[in-house]
C-alpha cells in the first residue's frame, strides 16, 4: 500500500479561482467537481461551489481544495503554511514558483540567502495561503 500526505485547503467560496491560480503556477492536471455535479443536496446557492478539487502536477505535487457550504460555517483562522523545498537542481523552478505565488500576494520575506546557508523566502498568496520556499545551499 502506498500512502500519501498532501494539503487539503479549505476556502469560503473561491476554491476554483485558487486551484486555477495554482495550476497556472505549478502546471498539471486539475479536476474540479461542484456540489451539484456530485449530487450533494443543500443550499442551492452552494451548487456551483467546489465540493472537491485536485491538482496533480508533473513534479508530483498534489493540492486538494474545496469550498465550504454555507450551512457548515467556517473559522477565519488560517494556521496553515505550505513548504516548497529543493536543492540547487530545483532552484530555478522554486524561484519561479515564488515569483508566481507572490503575484497579488504579500511577500513576508524575500527569497534571499538565509542565516543557515540556504536561500529562503515566505509569501502569503492572494488567497491567504502562506508558502515557505527553501532552496538548499550547494554541498561544500
pLDDT tens, residue by residue, 130-139: 999 999 988 7
Instruction: Quick: pLDDT tens for 11-58.
Output: 989 999 999 999 999 999 999 999 988 887 778 888 899 999 999 999
Domain ranges of the chain: 8-70, 81-135
Residues 50-101: pLDDT tens digits?
Answer: 999 999 999 999 999 999 887 777 655 566 789 999 999 999 999 999 999 9
Question: Tell me, which fold does domain 8-70 have in CATH?
Answer: 2,3-Dihydroxybiphenyl 1,2-Dioxygenase; domain 1 (3.10.180)
- For the full predicted model, state whether its pTM sits above 0.85: yes
For the chain, helix (H) and strand (E) counts, in that order, are: 2, 8
Query: Do 81-135 and 8-70 have the same topology in CATH?
Result: yes
**Structure-block grid coordinates of residue 58:** 508533473
- From CA 1, how far away is CA 28, in angstroms rounded? 24
Q: Three-state DSSP class for 40? A: coil
Whose cell is 515569483? That residue is 99
Residue 111's pLDDT is what? Answer: 96
We find that the CATH architecture of domain 81-135 is: Roll (3.10)
Amino acid at each position: 500500500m502506498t500512502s500519501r500526505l498532501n494539503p487539503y485547503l479549505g476556502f469560503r467560496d473561491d476554491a476554483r479561482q485558487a486551484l486555477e491560480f495554482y495550476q497556472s503556477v505549478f502546471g498539471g492536471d486539475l479536476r474540479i467537481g461542484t456540489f451539484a455535479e456530485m449530487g450533494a443536496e443543500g443550499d442551492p446557492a452552494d451548487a456551483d461551489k467546489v465540493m472537491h478539487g485536485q491538482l496533480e502536477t508533473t513534479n508530483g505535487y498534489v493540492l486538494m481544495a474545496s469550498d465550504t457550504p454555507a450551512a457548515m460555517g467556517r473559522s477565519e483562522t488560517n494556521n496553515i503554511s505550505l513548504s516548497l523545498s529543493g536543492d540547487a537542481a530545483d532552484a530555478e523552478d522554486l524561484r519561479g514558483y515564488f515569483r508566481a505565488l507572490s503575484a497579488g500576494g504579500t511577500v513576508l520575506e524575500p527569497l534571499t540567502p538565509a542565516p543557515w546557508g540556504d536561500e529562503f523566502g515566505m509569501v502569503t498568496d492572494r488567497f491567504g495561503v502562506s508558502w515557505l520556499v527553501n532552496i538548499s545551499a550547494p554541498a561544500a
